[in-house]
Chains A and B, each alone.
Chain A
Amino acid sequence: MLTLQFIPYAEIQGLSSGRRTKKLLDAAKQNKIVLLQGRLTKQEEADLIQKTMEQIDDKFKGIELSVIAPGNMDGAWHEKVKQQLLSLLMGDREGFTIIGPATIVKEIRKDPHKIQLLMKDKRKR
């Protein structure tokens, strides 16, 4: 059975960077596909990759990660300022982050208009 876990931004808002990435990685290691409201900072994304690498072994092969950012950053300057102010005050709750274990999610294909989660053939896992 495939589990999709939704994590609202409020659930990670008060956590330190280290605990945020740990929470996401722990869920992926339990073979869950995580749908996080909002996004990590770029530094946290890099930390998540580092922590993932530290934990790779014969069973855990890593993660597939994709961030779907809002597409309104090409708008007028006052829209960009508004977005950045909101991010500063409320956190990066715009968009979604998808994280799945590499043993289940083969690839996340993304272009500006669509996202495709390609799953691994169960017999090959």
Chain B
Amino acid sequence: MIGIIRRFINKFFNGLFKKKKHIKLGLYGPPNGGKTTLANRICKDWLGEEMGKVSNIPHETREIQIKEQIVIKSGGKELSFNLVDTPGIATKIDYEDFLKSGMKEKEAKIRAKEATKGVIDAIRWLDDMDLVIVVLDATADPYSQVNITIIGNLQARDIPVLLVGNKVDLKRAKLKRVQSAFPQYNLVGISAKYGNSMEEFYEALFKIAS
């Protein structure tokens, strides 16, 4: 509740005195949806450099990563933002899952501990976001409670959302199923890894941000 009031006051005063120069654009979603791959794609497209490390092991991103002052252009318009890549939100973290990836027990336990802190931080940062891209793996079940909780919290905070169905390069991707889980949002299907449909993604981002 305090967060909502704080956000309302921030919005009110920002609107009164100045137009925000750099919006905070957050990447949210469950682990391994491709948030950092998308962050890297955006940074490569507009800054020529990557933002963070990606891997197939869940919870690779365990700290909030920020890339400041990204300026993107589309159709004669310009949008500048600070990109905030967040750790994947989960309801469970088992260090034994990391052992399966060949990690030693000590390393796996440290990773699990860092991952729990990452989830807490990601949720704390929700109140600071001006716009959020929810990155879902289009091959996974979209009806998971984590997805519903993330989107519900953004809705409750009145934060604009762009819904992205990632990994459309894979045959198992089911964009229609993702759309039917969240019919109130426009969905953009992309492959952040290969850069498929990124123009469509940037156009949708401009629409949401304006």
A and B bind = yes
Instruction: Determine chain B's interface SS by DSSP, over half rule.
Output: helix
Interface centre among A41, A50, A63 (most CB of B within 10 A): A50
Instruction: Tell me the B79-123 residues at the A interface (CB within 8 Å).
Output: 89-95, 109, 112, 116-117, 119-120, 123
A46 touches B149 (CB 8 A): yes
A111 touches B120 (CB 8 A): no
Q: B39 → chain A, closest Cβ, in Å?
A: 22
Q: A10 → chain B, closest Cβ, in Å?
A: 23
| CB of A67 closer than 8 Å to a CB of B | yes
Chain B interface size range: 20 to 34
A49 touches B116 (CB 8 A): no
Q: B64 → chain A, closest Cβ, in Å?
A: 15
From known contacts A58-B109, A109-B141, infer whether A52 and B91 are also in contact, taking CB-CB under 8 Å: yes
Segment touching A, from B14-22, B152-160, B187-195, B197-205: B152-160
Which of these, B95, B119, B141, contacts A58 with CB under 8 Å? B95
In Å, the complex CA distance between A62 and B90 comes to 9
| CB of A85 closer than 8 Å to a CB of B | no
Residues of B within 8 A of A54 (CB): 116, 120
- CB-based nearest A residue for B126: A46
In Å, the complex CA distance between A34 and B152 comes to 22
Report B149-171 CB contacts with A as 1/0, cut-off 8 Å. Answer: 10011011000000000000000
Interface centre among A45, A50, A53, A111 (most CB of B within 10 A): A53
In Å, the complex CA distance between A56 and B95 comes to 10
Which of these, A43, A53, A64, A110, contacts B1 with CB under 8 Å? A43
Chain B residues proximal to chain A, CB less than 8 Å: 1, 89-95, 109, 112, 116-117, 119-120, 123-124, 126, 141, 143, 145-146, 148-149, 152-153, 155-156
Chain A residues proximal to chain B, CB less than 8 Å: 41-43, 45-46, 49-50, 52-54, 56, 58, 61-67, 102, 108-111
16 further contact pairs, Cβ within 8 A, besides A42-B153, A42-B156: A41-B156, A45-B152, A46-B123, A49-B91, A49-B149, A50-B120, A53-B119, A54-B120, A56-B112, A61-B92, A62-B91, A63-B91, A67-B145, A67-B148, A102-B91, A108-B145
